[in-house]
Structure 1
Amino acid sequence: MFIRAASGSEVRSIAGGRVVFADWMRGFGNLLIVDHGNGYLSIYGNNDSLLRQVGQAVKGGETIATVGNSGGNPESGLYFELRHQGQPIDPMKWANLK
């Protein structure tokens, strides 16, 4: 899912967990992945800057990055994805459960 947002806007973790990836990746730009346990991951791409490093614990709602367009998208925004056991989950269905 691509969420348009102004460059420099805060990116917040959807839930508590531990950062398992924080680096640039082709096609995703500055990418940060949070492991929430039980096979759940949240993925945040296209960031301007990453504010957490691999191994750091994060709390739900904590700022972990800033929005940008590092992934090659002409628009500023956040690439967001949820995965469970390696399979993508529709973030809108997950959000509706909350």
Structure 2
Amino acid sequence: ARRDSAPPAAATGTGRSPVPDAPRVAVARSAPVQVGGLSWPLTGSLLAGYGGRMPDGRSSSGVLVAASAGTPVRAVAEGTVVFAEWMTGYGLILIIDHGNGYMSLYAHNDSLLKGPGDRVARGDAVSTVGTSGGQGTAALYFELRRDGKPVDPNAWLQKR
């Protein structure tokens, strides 16, 4: 009769082989990148950059910026609001058409201050930061699109 080859049982009587402890790894801790100022929709801590990983593990097609709930969110450029309501996965979202194929998206808001058809100027408050749409931390998800496709917003936004 053939016997399965198994490692010897541990002396604990559990029938399992002892597993060596995994080596401890030191993790570098640094302060989150602070963003804001000229052209940014708000000032806060960058949680996910363009092309990075969102807290839930999904890839980011925009930026996620933590800020206190209720913080005003400002339009990054002049344009017309074309969408302002609830959208699954984004919560309360506002979309501004800036012309020439560019649109900006502002998601996970607590409240929307503008509605479809409203004209906005750069710097106008358009919403307030929140946790809508399943976002666990008060933060704004901002995305810039050209011809319907996400583009890196860093050309418009400056790190401080």
Give TM-score, length-normalised by structure 1: 0.94
Unaligned runs of 5+ in 2: 1-62
Letter in 2 for 1:8: G
Unaligned runs of 5+ in 1: none
Decide which structure has greater strand share: 1
Structure (1 or 2) with the larger CA radius of gyration: 2
Q: Where do 4+ consecutive residues of structure 1 move more than 2 Å?
A: 93-96
Whose RCO is larger (CA < 8 A, sep 6+)? 1
Q: What is aligned with 2:138?
A: 76
Q: What is aligned with 1:37?
A: 99
Letter in 1 for 2:113: L
Of all paired residues, the percent bearing the same amino acid is 51
Shift of 1:84: 0.4
Q: What is aligned with 2:22?
A: none
Match of 1:87 among 149, 152, 155: 149
Shift of 1:92: 1.8
Q: Distance in 1 between matches of 2:107 and 2:154?
A: 17
CA RMSD of aligned residues (A): 0.9
Q: Distance in 2 between matches of 1:92 and 1:59?
A: 20
Q: Distance in 2 between matches of 1:93 and 1:52?
A: 25
